[in-house]
Structure 1
Amino acid sequence: MKNIRNEVDEKVFPDKLGSQLNSKDYLKKNYSAFAGILSTFSKKIPKGMLDGNVELLKTNWEKYIVNIINVESKIKKITNLYDQRSREKIIGYYRNIAICPYCGLNEPDTLDHFLPKAAHPLLSITLYNLIPCCNNCNHKKKVYDSSIEPVSFFNPYLDKENFNWLEVETIDITNQYLNISYIFNESAFDSERQREVFKLTCEKLDLLSRYACRSIEFILNQKKNIQKFCTKQTEVGNYFEIMLKQLPQDDFWKTQLCNYISESETAQEVILKYCNISNRWISFENHARAPKCNESLRAYLNYACVDEYKNICFLSDGEFKQKIVCISDEVENVTLADENNFSVFVSGVIDFSDCIDADFYIFNSHGCTGIRYKYIGCEHGVIVLKKDAQRTSEVG
């Protein structure tokens, strides 16, 4: 959660304000950006809306969460002016914001009304009530109204930054899957109010799980370099220590991750193991045969003397001359593009680099489809399989 006030166009938030002016002149002199927006709708804006905004600005807009209710109560007619045309004009004042100030994960591609426009139409296009953020955060925040709720949402214009609120809790591997978990650091705050604001925002935006998912993706993208440069645990620590020095401070979820790995021997050991992971090939205890058409996966694994039932199972003979990969349709998003090709999204991390010469079989609720596939590629967890036409007739 980052304060972005200094990065926003100075026409939106000027340093010095004068108050001995009428409403229109006040806006033109001190809030030229806002005055320009309102001038576009001069015929639609009731005088109460114009004067109401100026009253908020003159009484110190930083306290508008408190002042807004008193101002709105004096205005009988308010027109909501937030439409696509005004949005396109407004967004130009936030071009310096490269990353969502709420989550720090994505580029801002929308504007959040900090106080909901449905409840506070007076602020529907008021620049200081608009937060450039990512669509994910805007959707998760919904219509939380900090003017009436006991705890305010984090305000990127008003609230101070605190990059120490986030901590990595654990990094481990379970069944070849990398697990990274984050926790909220209660001790990072001197102020109880700030702690409650950050905690509420963290929960509303589901930040801990989002950082965990992005962190696994981040490590996966580093996998080849780690394999290339790191042959022992200490080298993993050095690798992330160097990376930590290259990251900007406000890239806080990455800095926390890199710092944790650089200092934790356990994490270094896990990362080294993970980046050199190979699939758990299970050798047949007898001569391998292909699964029969409509044979269930469980029955086939029982034949292969495999006690553990999994959605993906790697089988081979003792010398790895014959490799068979069984995939259940319980794996996420098993999609049959046509009768010749499969696209399969595999959650977690599996190394398919040693499956180029393997035979793949797909099992659905009726059992094995009876079609043999070959691996032809993998990107971002999606593996693509192509029907092996020459050998399909041999199945069963």
Structure 2
Amino acid sequence: MRKLTPPNDDAVVVFEACIERVRNADLKRRLQSCSEEIGEASAEFDQKAAVAELHTIEAKDNVANAVSVDEMKKVYTARMAKKMAPGRIYYDRIMALPEHGRCPLCSQRFVSTLDHHLPKAHYPSLAVSPLNLIPSCQDCNKTKSEDIPRSSEQETLNPYYDDVEGFIWVKARLVESIPVSIEFYVDPPRNCDEVLKERLKRHFNIFNLSSLYSSHAAEELANIEFIARKIFENGGADELKNFLRDAAESRVQVNKNSWQTALYTCLRESQWFCQIRFL
């Protein structure tokens, strides 16, 4: 997962911009009565997301006893996410947060939608709260679906609040076969907080990152087959190991927990790959 700078737009300001063009007088009156609760809900989210206590936020089936879940869903879909909608400017700002447009949840696919970290079907007061909206790819958004955490350990990582880029926790193991296959797994440092360890594993499993990374690794292995064999034939195992070491170190500089970093580290450390694979 890649860290993102949190959006700084106020939830109430965003909400009020979204409902500005509502023509139905009764609906608009009821929506306007929700502003206070929406502000309070966003503040509670901000406080509890920082300490992995989102599971303590109560799920609801309405906002301020005035607006239904379906009505709040429409505020998001029709008045924020839709092109030319009054709240679209805030949608676009959040979409533009990830570097290179990559999904921060999987670090691979391109951002194409916003994911509600806490699902709007159960937390309607957070439907348009910027802090609850994570730029993501379609696959991560669909995979996560309406997952509701029941404990701190079940909370997936949040790019706005969790910084897990300073230590290595994504690793890979090589299966000695032809063609070579790579398995990815989570292995945080021993001094890592126990709750965070479980959240890292949860995040990895919820978004099916092992399968995604294994697929990319298989393609990468096919791409380097020719050059790796040539290096081995010309310089032996030591030269191949040097090549893989440089490749791993280069990728560490970009992202310690990318599948590329884990792949090349795994290959470099494999005596079988460096000494036997190309015999």
1: CA distance, partners of 2:277 / 2:169: 24
SS at match of 1:104: coil
Aligned to 2:25: none
Q: 1:264 is matched by which residue type in structure 2?
A: S
Which of 173, 177, 180 is residue 178 of structure 1 equivalent to? 180
Q: Given the superposition, is the C-alpha separation of residues 113 and 32 from structure 1 closer, same or farther in structure 2, using an over 3 Å criterion? A: closer
CA spacing shift, 1:74–1:182, aligned 2, 3 Å: closer
Equivalent of 1:86 in 48, 58, 80: 80
Shift of 1:3: 2.3
Question: What TM-score do the two structures reach when normalised by structure 2?
Answer: 0.76
Query: Unmatched 5+ residue regions in structure 2?
Result: 23-27
Question: Percent identity, aligned pairs only?
Answer: 21
Change (3 A) 1:187 1:243: closer
Structure with the bigger RCO (C-alpha within 8 Å, sep 6+) is 2
Secondary structure in 2 matching 1:115: coil
Match of 1:262 in 2: 268
Measure the CA separation in 2 of the matches of 1:201 and 1:153. 5
Q: Is the 8 A contact 1:114 1:130 kept in 2?
A: yes
**Superposed CA RMSD:** 3.0
Corresponding position: 1:38 with 2:16: yes
Mapping of residues 1-396 of structure 1, within 5 Å: 1-4=1-4, 6=5, 8=6, 12-13=7-8, 31=9, 35-36=13-14, 38-42=16-20, 43=22, 44=28, 46-58=31-43, 61-63=46-48, 65=54, 68-69=57-58, 75-78=64-67, 79-80=71-72, 81-83=75-77, 86-87=80-81, 88=83, 89=88, 90-97=91-98, 98-146=101-149, 151-161=154-164, 163-173=167-177, 176-185=178-187, 187-188=189-190, 190-231=192-233, 232-247=236-251, 248-250=254-256, 252-269=258-275, 272=278
Give, in angstroms, the shift of residue 178 of structure 1. Answer: 1.8
Cα 1:177/1:166, change in 2 over 3 Å: same
CA distance 1:246–1:190, change in 2 (3 Å): closer
Amino acid at match of 2:94: Y
Secondary structure of residue in 2 paired with 1:164: coil
Q: Which runs of 5+ in 1 are unaligned?
A: 14-30, 274-396
1:113 positional shift = 0.9
Query: TM-score under structure 1 normalisation?
Result: 0.55
In 2, the alpha carbon distance for the partners of 1:227 and 1:34 equals 60
Greater Cα radius of gyration, structure 1 or 2: 1
- For residues 104 and 209 of structure 2, what CA distance do their matches in structure 1 show? 12
Q: Which amino acid aligns with 1:213?
A: S
CA distance in 1, matches of 2:112, 2:259: 20
The structure where strand makes up a greater share of residues is 1
Query: How many Å apart are 1:169 and its aligned residue?
Result: 2.1
1:69 Cα shift?
2.4
Asked whether the 8 Å contact 1:115–1:147 carries over to 2, the reply is: no
8 Å CA contact retained: 1:56, 1:67? no
